[in-house]
Amino acid sequence: MTFRRLVLGLAALAIPLGAAAADRWQLPIAVKKLDNGLTVVVSEDASSPTVGVSVVYHVGMRLEPKGRTGFAHLFEHLMFQGTPNAPKGTFDRVIEGGGGMNNGSTRADYTNYIETAPVSALEPILWLEADRMKTLDFSAENLKNQQDVVKEEIRVNVQNKPYGLFFWTDVNRLAFSKWENAHDGYGSFADLEGARLEDVRAFHRDFYGPNNAVIGIVGDIKAEQAFALVEKYFGAIPARPVPPRPDVDEPLNTREKRESQTDALAQVPALAVGWKMPERGSPDQAPMDVLAQLLVGDSASRLYQGLVKGREQLLNIEGGLNWPLGDAWDYAGPAPLVLFGLYKPGVKVDAVLEAIDEEIARIVKDGVDAATLKRVKTKMLADYNDSLEAFISRADTLAKAQLLWGDAKTVNQIPAWIDAVQGADLQRVAARYLTAANRVVIDRTPAPAAAAAGDKP
């Protein structure tokens, strides 16, 4: 994928700050790269005696081995299962017992490991993160245990749940053509059960070296101190060769794809629509982000007002660019704009699609009035600030920006890129991307037998 951040940067420079400039929140950002290739991003904030930490690895569901769907996520679980130095249980014990919280998540383009804690626990946290970057306890028992846990996770989120995340996995399968982008990142049980210790070893060796990672640290610590601590605990970990990254790019679709599904657990029909989006760094990315907010961002949005209110077709509507697993700024490979809603009895899916098309056509034809555009951008700035409030989220956002954009300072530039978007930009991207040809549609209706499932009071 081409790197086009500069294009956006120049556009932003040319535009004076909008009325919301006083509400712009600029973060202090310091970046350092260690000799072994580990990049460290620090943002100081002494408003709370705590820190947020995020270690982000440049590997996700797209790069898991073929025949091993769900492996990147299973591997993420295994990162919490101990090392030769710190047996299983140590990680959670030290962090939670130090007053902290930790988590991990697997996405298409990255896998992140995040912690927040009183600043007194920072050194043990860094030690633990460095320790599992070196090696893991590759034990058959741990692998079996987490295969079971991941299968329970999939049962609770997919197999035993109405709708079962079809607006993520099935939209991707339908929208994308390359295996890397189209396969189910949660994984099939057969593939998960097929995972072997040698797969785990190889994945750690290939993708979990310091040169394939960024660490973000935010909170009550000076940048120089943070750099020194990361050097102390991670500095001696040697860089490891990373396999060449496959070309995962794919063009927009040229023919609409539709699918009808039945859901044995659902009682109310649902609809998901997806369109393929501009690549990361494209001049169309910021306009698309604004357009997504205009369409589906909040209760003033066109689709909420037009379809939930107005036409009264839908119970609710959710969605966005790179939804539900990310946002407009944290993808690298192909990503969709997704809409998901439950529709009412008697409503035809074609009528809903027609209504969505009408709202889009109105934007393409008339553009957007200045007052509306300003309102939408103001709300986006507020939401953006909110997303950075918790130290753990701020550390993660900075680390991801460094990893995916090559520059953590992107985080301070995005508000200006959004502010620079004009009505004509929205017309252009609506006409280019939100077409029927570039669209996938999934209609999911309750299976006739579903009436029997569940206790009716």
Partner 1 sequence: MRTTVKTLALPLGLAGALTAGAAGAAQTTLPKDLPPYGQDKPLPVPTITQKTLDNGLTVWVLPRTDGPPKVDVVLAVRGGKASDPADLPAMSDLLASLLTEGTRTRSAIQIAEQLQAIGASIDATAGNDGITVSGSGLASGAERLVGLLADVGINASFPEAEVKLAKANALQALKAAEAQPSYQASRAIARAIYGDHPYGRTLATEASIGKTERAALAAAHTARFRPDRALLVVSGRIDAATALTYANGAFGAWKAQGEAPAEIAAAPREAKPQHVLVERSGSVQSAVRLGRPVFAANDADEIPAALANTILGGGGLDTRLNRNLREDKGYTYGAYSSFSVARRGGAFTSGADVRNEVTGAAVGEFVKELQKLIDTPVDAAELERAKRAAAGGYLFRNQLQSAVARSLAANWLVGRPPEYLGQFVPRTREVTAEQVQTMARRYFDPKTLSIVVVGDKAVAEQLGAYGSFGATPAGD
Q: Is the CB of residue 438 less than 8 Å from the CB of residue 253?
A: yes
> How far is residue 145 from each of residues 56, 88, 111, 142, measured CA to CA in Å?
24, 12, 21, 5
Site string for partner 1, 353-392 (x = CB under 8 A): ---------------------xxx-xx-xxx-xx-xxxx-
Contact between residue 432 and residue 375 where contact means Cβ atoms under 8 Å apart: no
- State in angstroms the smallest separation of the CB of 4 from partner 1: 28
Rule CB under 8 A: say whether 94 interacts with partner 1: yes
Q: Which stretch binds partner 1 (CB under 8 A): 46-54, 132-140, 197-205, 278-286?
A: 46-54
- Single out the residue of 58, 62, 68, 73 in contact with partner 1 (rule: CB under 8 A): 73
**Phi–psi pair at 233, nearest 5 degrees:** -95, -30
Total of chain residues touching partner 1, rule CB under 8 A: 102
Torsional sign, CA 421, 427, 433, 434: positive
Could you tell me if 169 and 186 are in contact, meaning their C-beta atoms sit under 8 angstroms apart? yes
CA–chain centroid gap for 252, Å, is: 20
Q: Identify which of residues 207 and 343 has a Cβ nearer to partner 1 in the complex.
A: 343
Nearest distance, CB of residue 299 and partner 1, angstroms: 4
Q: Which of residues 201-220 bind partner 1 (CB under 8 A)?
A: 220
Q: How far apart are CA 111 and CA 437, in angstroms?
A: 32
- 4, 5, 88, 134: which one binds partner 1 (CB under 8 A): 88
Strand order in the sheet with 270-276: 257-263, 439-446, 270-276, 336-342, 318-321
**Contact with partner 1 (CB under 8 A): which of 28, 85, 197, 350?**
85
Binding of partner 1 at residue 412 (CB under 8 A)? no
Of the pair 124, 319, the CB lying nearest partner 1 is at: 124
Site for partner 1 in 298-317 (CB under 8 A): 298-300, 305, 308-309, 312, 315-316
Beta bridge partners of 440: 257, 274
Q: Note whether 167 binds partner 1 by CB under 8 A.
A: no
Query: What is the nearest approach in angstroms of partner 1 to the Cβ of residue 145?
Result: 5
Residue 314: its H or E element: none
391-410 binders of partner 1 (CB under 8 A): 391
Q: Which stretch binds partner 1 (CB under 8 A): 34-42, 142-150, 172-180, 195-203?
A: 142-150
Instruction: For residue 110, state whether it binds partner 1 (rule: CB under 8 A).
Output: no
Q: From residue 85, give the alpha-carbon distance in Å to each of 91, 120, 128, 135.
A: 11, 22, 10, 9
22 touches partner 1 (CB under 8 A) = yes
Pair 308, 316: CB distance under 8 Å: yes
Phi, psi of 420 (to 5 degrees): -80, -10
Question: Residue 412 to residues 29, 51, 170, 246, 399: CA-CA distances in angstroms?
Answer: 9, 20, 34, 30, 13
Nearer to partner 1, 173 or 344 (CB): 344
Binds partner 1 (CB under 8 A): choice among 17, 33, 35, 144: 144
Query: In the complex, what is the shortest distance from the CB of residue 435 to partner 1, in angstroms, rounded to a whole number?
Result: 27
Q: Which stretch binds partner 1 (CB under 8 A): 31-39, 114-122, 208-216, 425-433?
A: 114-122
Q: How far is CA 88 from CA 55, 78, 79, 106, 234, in A?
A: 19, 10, 10, 21, 21
- CA dihedral of 30, 205, 70, 183, whole degrees rounded to 10: 80
Which residues 416-435 are close enough to bind partner 1 by CB under 8 A? none
Tell me, residue by residue from 245 to 284, as one string, x for binding to partner 1 by CB under 8 A and - for no binding.
-------------------xxxxx----------------
Supply the minimum distance, in Å, between the C-beta of residue 298 and partner 1.
6
If you search the block for the tokens 């620090």, which residue do you land on? 42
Q: In 107-235, at which residue ranges do the beta strands (DSSP E only) sit?
A: 111-118, 213-219
Q: Which of 34, 41, 78, 128 binds partner 1 (CB under 8 A)?
A: 128
Segment holding 319, helix H or strand E: strand 318-321
Determine, following the binding rule CB under 8 A, whether residue 351 of this chain makes contact with partner 1.
no
As measured in angstroms, the least distance from the Cβ of 359 to partner 1 is: 15
For 78, what's the count of Cα atoms within 13 Å in the CB-facing half-sphere?
28
When the beta carbons of 123 and 247 are compared against partner 1, the nearer one is 123
Cβ of residue 147: shortest distance to partner 1, in angstroms?
8
Q: Does 25 bind partner 1 (CB under 8 A)?
A: yes
225 binds partner 1 (CB under 8 A): no
How far apart are alpha carbons 143 and 146 in whole angstroms? 5
| Part in contact with partner 1 (CB under 8 A); list of ranges 121-129, 281-289, 327-335, 422-430 | 121-129
Judged by CB under 8 A, which stretch of 147-155, 251-259, 362-370, 433-441 contacts partner 1?
A: 147-155
φ, ψ of residue 158 in degrees (nearest 5): -125, -65
Beta carbon nearer to partner 1, 5 or 24: 24
Structure-token match 């439950």, residue found: 342
